[in-house]
Chains A and B, each alone.
Chain A
Amino acid sequence: MNLDLTWRLLRGGGRKSLLGTWLTLGAVIVSTALLLFAVAANFAFAARGERGAWRNPVPVEEGPFKEGAVAVEAARFDFVGDQAITVVDLAALKAGAPAPPGMPRFPAPGEVWLSPALAELAERLPADQLAGRYPHPKGVLGDEALVHPGELVVVVGHEPDDPELTAARSDDWILGKGPARVASLAGTPSEDSEAYRALTLVASVLMVVPLLVFGGAAARLTVARRDQRLATLRLVGATPGQVVRMTVAEAVIVALAGALLGAAGYAAAAPLLARIPIAGGTWFVSDLFPHPLILAGVLVAVPLLVGLSAVVGLRRVVVSPLGVARRETPPAMRFVRVVALLAVLAVFPMLSRGSSVGIVAVAVGLAFLCLNVTGPWVVGLIGRVTARTARAPARLLAGRRLVDDPRAAWRTVSGVALTGFVAGFLGLLSPGLFADDEAPAQLRVSAPAAQAPEIAGQARDRLRAAGVTAEVKVTGESSDKVVVAALGSGADTATIDRARTALAGLVPGRTPTTADDDQRFGIQILADVRVGTIVVLSVSFLVAIASSGITAASSVLDRRQTYGLLRLAGTPLEVLDRARRAETLIPLTVMGGGAILVGVFCATPFMIGGMSTVGVITLAGCVVVGFAGVIGAGALSRPLLRSVTADPAPRPD
């Protein structure tokens, strides 16, 4: 009965009612698609980590099998141009050692297997720049061996007593993993992949909260448009249960359709998203599809959340049917909202960079939610101040409107204000640029002190044979000396690569590197943090501005009678426009600014050094984009205002 009545009322509500439904549907589609993106990103990084785990060996002493090592494995990085090559050295200790992922069998001593991208690059570049380092490749690695499609990987087979697998290597994970006897090639996700997963989790929390707020706002938007009707149903005797069921039915049906369409939209967009380069490469499209159970979970959770949000929005109607029908003065909101935010913020000074990522993610999420809960209280306060101090009608109307329905006013600006929190948080965390000294090109490789002079001599011979002009010397005070091949300031990328190729294998297990190579991963992480920041802020702003536009348009429709009356009494449209603008910009300025400060405050414990120029530019850009976006979104509903007030006559008789 309820479903039938809900459907009939929905259809009978006319264009205005259907418009609200379309707005909700659109909001849920966008929310679901972006929510899937935020969730899938975590799974995508996990998939990358798992695929790359085999190159991060777990020594048998640390693993579950104390006996039964089947192979020796080591990994290091080589470089070509500005790209890193992962070099995996393998030697079988027993016959029948398991095949590494992406290979048909364990590599025999002397065999070289290249990833498709490396094989293609080796063919494209002159042999003395790259192919000479990995001669006579035996085969091409499959995708299962690769973290991302364009990854440069080489697997080299050895005898177990080969110097490559017996010489000492650095323990620094940035330089690779020293030789380890392994019982299997399962390995474990590397430290850098774990770091990326942690950052992604924080980014997801920052994206998910505005999305949930947006979805919830859309649901309440539907309710706001229905409350008059549902209050009337209560007046004629509908029970609270019936009203709730009707509301939930309507919201959930629309949300389910929106969630399905949003999932389809995400699936369609996945190939494009796969082109966003992170951690040195683009994505396998399959990585961007979450597990079917997760997808099902999102498809169930979104309609449930929207339904729940609708019920919360209807609380006043259910409790008091006269409350909405007669528009009494709304009850003041409780200060406890602010106390909740202050309580969560009090936790942050206790956190540090050493805190668990889970705790940080929960704290950031809570701060975010409390900011959202505090928003309407602050908007109400701003409204009272604005109304009390208003001299002109526009500000008076705006102030009274803010006092009348602070939640609705907050919904219009909450997205952008909450994005201010994200901007404040990420702005402070954006690391500054690395020093970019134009040092003369030189390749450096560490070598045992006793052998350093001999290695330096070999280096001179090899470079001379390769036709590379270089001055080779030995430096360093410790037990490990550094052999430096200075290539001069005129050395271009091709010359450096020729020198790298000439010096390949000079010191077993060690790669000659330039100063740029040593910073390569730092620069990569910096670039990725920037890309991540841009993605998170883009998503947040898109959601926020769309939310603002939808709410502004809906507000015009909801208040068409009021606007019509004001026009009829001779109120210039400019006054109405000014009032609407003030209604948005006053709370946006206060709450947006406040949210940025809260974001900065929350990020302070994790800040590295001072605030970077990039961070300041990011923040300033966010303020400009946020204000421009909200003003633009509000301006889009101006024609709607003109249309609904074009004929201000209250009756057409």
Chain B
Amino acid sequence: MNDVLVGRALTKRFGQTVALGGVDIAVRGGEAVAIMGPSGSGKSTLLHCLAGIMRPDAGEVHLLGQRIDAMGERRRSALRRTRFGFVFQFGQLLPELPAEENVALPLMLGGVPRAQAVRQAREWFAPLGLHSMEGRRPGELSGGQAQRVAIARALVSKPAVVFADEPTGALDQQTGQDTMRLLVEATKHNAASLIVVTHDPNVAAWCDRTVEVRDGHLLAARGARA
């Protein structure tokens, strides 16, 4: 398949610290890529640059052939809302909203009427093992359940790419494995690409390939392609 997301010569500095020193990376449609590296290696910075959260100091990011790093904040926001999905370490669900409204929110932000957005959101609960959890608030969910709600939220608007930053970091090993399986399966089922930042090889093993970041540079690639 063609490359969906491409980063070219990405450079990012924080003061004197070089977080990214000219990174090149390409992700194909439906591909799951793990970005590994120790703390402070720059892997999260790479994810944030690719996701349009952060602008690189130099280099380019292209989504489906469209350059996104040069876009203004408003357009990048719209892009994140419609083309990307996010899963983070602690689920990062909105504590005030019940689970189904957390999942429906990206759709509502995209202009889908509330009733339809909630109906679409509910369809994700049973496949992810969240039957009858629709009305619960995040504080009433376990860590694994909250992550599955976050996966549903990331995928509900049919994004091109899902970004996951240490998605199992706060879970025990078994729950973490279950969560990764669901994340990879659900992403592939929706033909979305997946980029996972992790320092856990067990998590990386669920992906098609792994790239390793050290001191802001890609070291090596394992798996299908470099």
Does A associate with B in a complex? yes
Interface 9-mer from A193-201, A372-380, A398-406, A529-537: A398-406
**Are B95 and A569 in contact, with the CB atoms below 8 A?**
no
Q: Which of B188-218 contact A (CB under 8 A)?
A: none
- Chain A residues lying within 8 Å of B137, measured Cβ to Cβ, are 327-329
Structural contact, B101 and A653, CB atoms closer than 8 A: no
B175 at the interface (CB under 8 A from A): no
Contact of B109 (CB < 8 Å), options: A400, A575, A647, A652: A575
Answer yes or no: B45 CB below 8 A from chain A CBs.
yes
Given A327-B95, A393-B109, A562-B95, do A570 and B82 touch, yes or no (CB 8 Å)?
yes
Among the 9-residue stretches B26-34, B36-44, B119-127, B178-186, the one with 4 or more Cβ atoms under 8 Å from chain A is B36-44
- A567 vs B84: C-alpha distance in the bound complex, in angstroms? 13
Query: How close is A571's CB to chain B, nearest CB, in angstroms?
Result: 6
Count of residues in A whose CB is under 8 Å from the partner chain: 32
Cβ of B95 to closest chain A Cβ, rounded Å: 5
**A404, A647, A652: the one within 8 Å of B95 (CB):** A404
At the interface, yes or no: B77 with Cβ under 8 Å from chain A? yes
> Is B92 interfacial (CB 8 A cutoff)?
yes
Q: Which of A393, A567, A653 sits near B39, CB closer than 8 Å?
A: A653
Known contacts A400-B101, A570-B77, A571-B77: A565-B94 contact under CB 8 Å? yes
> Within 8 Å of chain B (Cβ to Cβ): is A649?
yes
A12 at the interface (CB under 8 A from B): no
Provide the bound-state CA to CA distance between A400 and B98, in Å: 9
Does the CB pair B44–A652 fall under 8 Å?
yes
Contact B114 A327 (CB under 8 A): no
Q: Is the CB of A327 within 8 A of B45?
A: no
B178 to chain A, nearest CB (A): 22
A interface footprint on B69-86 (CB within 8 Å = 1, 0 otherwise) = 000001001111110101
Indicate whether A326 reaches chain B with its CB closer than 8 angstroms.
Answer: yes
Select one of B14, B54, B78, B165 contacting A570, CB under 8 A: B78
Nearest-neighbour CB distance to chain B for A649, whole angstroms, equals 5
Nearest CB of chain A from residue B46's CB, rounded to whole Å:
10
Q: Give the distance in Å from the alpha carbon of A420 to the alpha carbon of B92 in the complex.
A: 39
* Majority SS at the chain A contact face: loop
B54 neighbours in A (Cβ, 8 Å) = 647, 649
Residues of chain A within 8 A (CB-CB) of B6 are none
Number of interface residues of B (CB under 8 A): 39
| Residue from the list A393, A651, A653 in contact with B108, Cβ < 8 A | A393
B221 lies within 8 A of chain A by Cβ: no
Q: Considering the complex, which residues of chain A in the window 554-569 have a beta carbon less than 8 Å from any beta carbon of chain B?
A: 561-562, 565-569
Within 8 A of B (CB), among A525-581: 561-562, 565-572, 575
* A571 cross-chain contacts in B, Cβ below 8 A: 77, 81, 109
Q: Is the CB of B86 within 8 A of A569?
A: yes
How far is A16 from B108 in the complex, measured between Cα atoms in Å? Answer: 32
Binary contact track A309-352/B, C-beta < 8 Å → 1, others 0: 00000000000000000111100000000000000000000000
Looking at the assembled complex, report how far the CB atom of B89 sits from the nearest CB atom of chain A, in whole angstroms: 8
Instruction: Determine if A392 and B108 form an interchain contact, defined as CB atoms under 8 angstroms apart.
Output: yes
**For residue A399, which residue of chain B has the nearest CB?**
B96
CB contacts under 8 Å to B, within A270-328, are 326-328
A391 to B14, CA, bound (A): 41
Chain B residues closer than 8 Å to A570, beta-carbon distance: 77-82, 84, 106, 109
State A649–B86 Cα separation when bound (angstroms). 11
Check if B113 is an interface residue, CB within 8 A of chain A: yes
Most chain B CB within a 10 A radius of its CB, from A326, A328, A570: A570
CB-contact partner of B86 in A328, A393, A404, A568, under 8 A: A568
Q: Is A396 an interface residue (CB 8 A)?
A: yes
1/0 contact trace for A635-651 toward B, CB 8 Å? 00000000000011111
Contact B113 A400, beta carbon cutoff 8 Å: no
Distance to closest chain B CB from A362 (angstroms):
39
Nearest-neighbour CB distance to chain A for B61, whole angstroms, equals 15
Q: Which residue of A lies closest to B83 (CB)?
A: A570
Q: Mark A388-432, 1 if CB is under 8 A from B, else 0.
A: 001111001100110110000000000000000000000000000
Q: How far is the CB of A570 from chain B (nearest CB, A)?
A: 3
Please give, as numbers and ranges, the residues of chain B lying within 8 Å of A327 by CB-CB distance: 95, 137-139
Which of B106, B113, B139 has a CB less than 8 Å from the CB of A326? B139
- State how many angstroms separate the Cβ of B195 from the closest Cβ of chain A: 15
Residues of A within 8 Å of B95, CB to CB, are: 327, 404, 562
B152 interface residue, CB < 8 Å from A?
no
Q: A397-B96, A653-B39 are in contact. Are A328 and B139 (CB under 8 A)?
A: yes
Closest Cβ neighbor of B93 among chain A residues: A565
Which of B45, B78, B97, B106 has most A Cβ within 10 Å?
B97
Bound: A575/B109 CA distance, A: 9
Which of A390, A400, A567, A649 contacts B48 (CB under 8 A)? A649
> Is the Cβ of A568 less than 8 Å from the Cβ of B80?
yes
B40 with A653: CB separation less than 8 A = yes
Q: Is the CB of B92 within 8 A of A565?
A: yes
Across the interface, do A567 and B108 meet the contact criterion of CB distance under 8 Å?
no
**Smallest beta-carbon distance B72→chain A, Å:** 12
Distance in angstroms between the alpha carbons of A403 and B135 in the assembled complex: 14
Which residue of the partner chain, among A396, A562, A650, contacts B114 with CB atoms under 8 Å?
A396
> B39 — which chain A residues lie within 8 A by C-beta?
653
For the complex formed, measure the closest distance between the CB of B98 and the CB atoms of chain A, giving whole angstroms. 8
Contact A653 B44 (CB under 8 A): yes
Closest to A326 in B: B139
The answer for the CA separation of A357 and B95 in the assembled complex, in Å, is: 49
Q: Which residues of B contact A568 (CB under 8 A)?
A: 53, 80, 86
B43 touches A650 (CB 8 A): no
Residues of A within 8 A of B108 (CB): 392-393, 396
Q: Which residues of B contact A326 (CB under 8 A)?
A: 139-140
CA distance A648 to B176 in the complex (A): 25
Q: Does B105 contact A (CB under 8 A)?
A: yes
Distance A650 CA – B92 CA, assembled complex (angstroms): 9
CB pairs A–B below 8 angstroms (24 shown): A326-B140, A327-B138, A327-B139, A328-B139, A393-B108, A397-B97, A400-B96, A400-B101, A565-B88, A568-B80, A569-B80, A569-B86, A570-B78, A570-B81, A570-B109, A572-B74, A572-B78, A575-B109, A648-B53, A650-B88, A650-B89, A652-B44, A653-B40, A653-B43
Across chains A and B, which 6 residue pairs bring their CB atoms closest together, nearest first? Answer: A570-B81, A570-B80, A327-B139, A653-B44, A404-B96, A400-B96
Other than A391-B114, A570-B84, give 7 A-B pairs with Cβ distance below 8 A: A391-B113, A570-B78, A571-B81, A572-B78, A648-B53, A649-B54, A652-B14
